[in-house]
Each structure stands twice: as structure tokens, then as C-alpha cells.
Amino acid sequence: MKSREYLERIREIPALSRAVLKKIVLDGERATFHLVTDQTYHEEDVAAARDVTQDFVPEGCTGDVRVVKSVPSEEGVRARIAEVLKNNYPAAAAFVSPADISVELDGAGGRFVIGVAESERTQFVRGNVLDGVAEDLARSFPGAWAGDCRSVEKVMEAPPEEPLPPPEVIIAPRVFSIENYAPIDGASPKFAVYMADLAAGQTDVTVCGTISFLEERMTKKEKPFFSFTVSDGTAQLRLSYFSKKATLEKVRALKVGDSVCFTGDMELFNGSPSFRAKAVDLGTLPKDFVPEALPSRPAPPRYTAVFPEPCEDLVQGMLFGETRLPAGFEKGRYVVFDLETTGLNNNPVAGPMDRIIEVGAVKIEGGKIAEKFSTFVACPVKLTDEIVGITGIEDEMLIGAPPVETVMADFYKFTEGCALVGHNVQFDYKFIRYYGEQEGYLFDAKTLDTVALSQQLLRLKNYKLNTVADHFGFTFRHHRAFDDAFVTAKIFLELVKLGGIPK
């Protein structure tokens, strides 16, 4: 249902020309639309509204109307403005007290003025705070609303003492003992570091694993060197080794499937992690080796750059079918997310990782969409014309955006205790897992894929996001993170209605 088109039809009724739609309540086969107006109306006006409403509900569903007359008061509007600022614009709300808000009613809406310090005026104007407040008032009260700022001199007060941040959690690399050691270069290592825990800058570190690829090559000076790919079950690692004359033939005798240990330095080469081995020996992982779980940093105590906002889908998808959400679903917590990136490489072993440039997510609690998380992400490399064409995101839009390490901390806090949902979820999940791990945040939540759920429950020509959205009658702006996440959340709710709570 298109609420804008519905209200345009309703407002053609003279007595409801300034009506607003507060909510829609579904009870079985009856959908009741609750309207608020500040005008006097009669029963024939309600009957006319009921006829309009019937045109906007599915066949077989009865449309009903409840109309309430409510004349806004200055105090009520002022309280609503303060609430909107607090919930939707916490950074701006920090500079405003209720006494700074003035309201003038004109019988057909009104005007509000927010007093702010001159230094904060730009944040209100350029940050679209005034427009956002006016749009909320238009949804909450009849009539048209407009806002402005006035400069006031603010008396500086000593800020409240902030609690000390928790001590930095330093997570030591995990190690295991090397078994069946036999020398080639004779480095004699006793322990190996998990490959998954390697970080640029580590020196004289030993890794141990099984060879999956090796190749002998020659330098420009015709000296042999070797390229290896090895794995220890926690990660794969590409490395280079420059052989020594005394051990060259022993190294040449190595083959795919052999278990070896390398000692060397972890470096960055062309932006990608690279291990330069200084010594190679034989050695194996412990028998029946099971990697121990890497502890994650705790979620930060507060958001620092990206502040979640309330988010509500007024219809919540319920008019697209009579099936209700299964019992017990409201007890679950889900974050449905989507990313926009500079490319498709989400595996550091395959080369330099592409970068995240936008994160969009919605949280589902109590069986409905409740919160949004949306931000651009600073990007130190220029966006390609292809990415600009696909996403509509340009370099200028990323100026001033928070860096990925800050976004990952806030996103980890936002997703705490939630299952992660996405359309082809593993593609985006690998990005957040990689960039989260760089900051010590281990995204290890359960993941649910709406592609797989759609394939199980629907018969469609393909299962692209726009195809599944079209099936349910959802329209959206594709290839923008929040829009994709929001429509994926609506799709997820519909799939849960069809197939039950996913395991």
C-alpha cells in the first residue's frame, strides 16, 4: 500500500483535508486505518473515507476507518519536537533544552523555532535536522509544518564526568606446539602462531601447516625462490621463500600435502598481507588439532560515530497476506544488513581486500522492524566509475564519514545478541568479519540467508533481491545499503510467515 497516494485520496474529502494516518491495525480480515484531523467531521465524511480505504486493502479484506479529532497544543508539539531530537538526532539534541524550542500554531499546522548556539547552527541546517523534525510533525499532527533556527548565546557548563573507558583488551595470538619436527634450515621452532592471528608487523614468527600450492621461480638475477600456499585449518597463507644453496635440493623435494613450518616476518606488500619466510623446516600440527576459539573484544560501552535511530514500517508487510508471524518469533532478535563496497574481493588470500563504503542495517525485535543503522564509511582510495554507476555513491559523499574501524565497533555493538540476516549473506558477512577482526571484534553470530530461504519457499525465475521484492510487491532503491537492508528485512518477515522460524 502506498500511504502517500492513500492520504491524497483521503484529503480530497473536505473535512479530512489535513488528516494524517497514525497507524494501521490488522485484526483477522479487517484492516482499520486510524486517522487524526483537527477539523470538524460528520458520519458521511467517515463513510467516504471508508470507501477510499476499501480501495487500498487486498481483496477479501475489509477496510475500516477510525477518525479522531485532535487539535495540537503548543506544549504537545514542543514535547514531540524534543522527543524527535532525542531519538533521531542525539548529537543535535545534546545542544537543545525544551526552553530553547518555541512553537506558533496557525490553525493549519504551524512553525517551530529551535534556539541553538551559532556554532551549532550549521549542524541543524546542513544535517537536515529541521526537515526531519517537520516531516515527523506532519505525520503526527494535521497540517503543514516548517522550522527554523535562531542563534542564542549558550552559557557553558562543566560537562559531567564521563566514566573511565574500560581497559584496552589485548588479545594474544593463539599458538600450538609443533610436532614431528625435522630440520631443513634448522630454525628449531617449538610453537607456531595460528595463521588467522597473523598481523602486519610481526617478526620472527613461526607458522605451521600443510602445503596446498608451491612453485619454484627465478629472480631477475637468476636466483631461485619459492612461492607457497599453506593452511593450518584457521586460515590460508601465501608466502615467499628465498632458498639457500645448502638446502635448495631439500626444499625442491617438498610437495603438495607435506606439512612444514616457516619462520619469518609478516609484511604488507601492495596493501595485502604477505609472509616472507627466512627458514623452512618440517613439522606437523598436533594430532587431532582443534583450533581454540579466539575471544572477541567486548562490545564498546557506547556508540561513538554511528547512532542507531528508531525505524518503523507502518504496515509491517501485514497487508500482503493473512498469515501471521509464527508464535515465538517475537522472542528472537535479528539484524538484517547490507553493504556497498569498492569491489567483490572479500578474501585477503586472493589479493588486497576491497573496502566497505556504506553500511545499512535494520534490527527486528518483538517481531517487527524497530531500529536502523546507516552510515557511509571513509575510503582512502578513489571510487571507480563502475562503482559510482552501480551505487550512485561518489567520492565527495564519503568525505567526513567515520573510518571503518570506528564503524565496525559501533556495528558490533548494534548486532550484539542478534542473528545476522542478508540476501546472499556470506558475501557481506566476510567483509564485516575481516574488518571486524582487524579491530579485535569477532562477528560469529548465526547467519540466515534470504536467498536460500526464498529458494526453499518460492518458485521464481531467479532469486535476485529485486525479483523477490517484486514477488511481495515491495519497491525500493536498489544498490544502496540501507534501502537493500530494509527491503530484505521485509522479505525476511514474509518468508518467516511462509516457512516458520528458520533454524
The Cα 217–Cα 198 span in angstroms is: 25
- The answer to whether position 293 is within a domain reads no
- The answer to whether position 438 is within a domain reads yes
Q: Which helix (H) or strand (E) holds 391?
A: helix 385-391
- The answer to whether position 156 is within a domain reads no
The Cα 456–Cα 467 span in angstroms is: 15
Q: Is 471 in the active site?
A: no
- Domain at 189, CATH number: 2.40.50.140
- The answer to whether position 301 is within a domain reads no
Last residue of a domain, which of 151, 167, 188? 151
Is residue 306 scored above 70 in pLDDT?
Answer: yes
- The answer to whether position 408 is within a domain reads yes
Tell me: do 213 and 103 sit in the same domain. no
Last residue of a domain, which of 43, 69, 95? 69
The strand ranges marked E within 119-219 are 144-151, 175-177, 179-182, 191-193, 205-218
Q: Which pLDDT tens digit goes with each residue over 99-149? A: 888 888 877 778 888 887 766 676 676 667 888 888 888 777 777 888 888
Average pLDDT for 420-429? 97
Tell me: do 122 and 196 sit in the same domain. no
pLDDT for residue 187: 86
pLDDT for residue 319: 45
User: Higher confidence at residue 320 or residue 40?
Assistant: 40
Tell me: do 216 and 262 sit in the same domain. yes
pLDDT for residue 316: 47
Average pLDDT for 161-183? 74
The Cα 216–Cα 240 span in angstroms is: 10
Tell me: do 401 and 486 sit in the same domain. yes
Q: Which helix (H) or strand (E) holds 372?
A: strand 368-376
**Boundaries of domain holding 265:** 175-284
Q: 3-state DSSP call for residue 491?
A: helix
pLDDT for residue 373: 96
Tell me: do 388 and 480 sit in the same domain. yes
Is residue 72 scored above 50 in pLDDT?
Answer: yes
Q: What is the mean pLDDT of the chain?
A: 87
Over the range 440-469, which residues count as b (16 or more CB within 10 Å of their CB) and which as e?
bbebebeebbbbebbeeebeeeebebeebb
Ranking 102-111, 210-219, 385-394, 404-413 by mean pLDDT, the lowest is 102-111
Tell me: do 487 and 344 sit in the same domain. yes
pLDDT for residue 284: 96
- Domain at 138, CATH number: 3.30.300
Per-residue pLDDT band for 344 (boundaries 50, 70, 90) equals very high
Tell me: do 364 and 438 sit in the same domain. yes
- The answer to whether position 276 is within a domain reads yes
Tell me: do 65 and 79 sit in the same domain. no
Is residue 347 scored above 50 in pLDDT?
Answer: yes
pLDDT for residue 487: 94
The Cα 179–Cα 392 span in angstroms is: 54
Tell me: do 366 and 437 sit in the same domain. yes
Is residue 322 scored above 60 in pLDDT?
Answer: no
Is residue 321 scored above 80 in pLDDT?
Answer: no
- Domain at 383, CATH number: 3.30.420.10
Q: Which pLDDT tens digit goes with each residue over 199-244? A: 878 899 999 999 999 999 998 888 999 999 999 998 899 899 998 9
The Cα 59–Cα 69 span in angstroms is: 30
Contacts 24+ apart (CB under 8 A), 154-157: 154/95, 154/116, 154/117
Q: Which pLDDT tens digit goes with each residue over 252-278? A: 999 999 999 999 998 877 766 789 999
As a residue count, the chain comes to 503
Which of 241, 236, 248 shows the shortest CA–CA distance to 209? 236
Q: Which pLDDT tens digit goes with each residue over 14-28? A: 888 888 887 788 877
List Cα–Cα distances, 364 to 313, 370, 372, in angstroms. 11, 6, 9
Grid cell, residue 447, equals 547467519
Looking at the structure of the chain, the number of domains it has is 4
- The answer to whether position 19 is within a domain reads yes
Last residue of a domain, which of 69, 94, 113? 69
Tell me: do 132 and 233 sit in the same domain. no
Tell me: do 382 and 470 sit in the same domain. yes
DSSP per-residue letters across 57-109:
S-TT-EEEEEEEE----HHHHHHHHHHHHHHH-HHHHTT--GGGEEEEE-SSE
Q: Which pLDDT tens digit goes with each residue over 449-502? A: 999 999 999 999 999 999 999 999 887 777 789 999 999 999 999 999 999 999
Terminal CA-to-CA distance of the chain, rounded, Å? 31
- The answer to whether position 493 is within a domain reads yes
Average pLDDT for 85-90? 76
Which of 335, 493, 477 shows the shortest CA–CA distance to 410? 335
Tell me: do 127 and 35 sit in the same domain. no
Is residue 356 scored above 90 in pLDDT?
Answer: yes
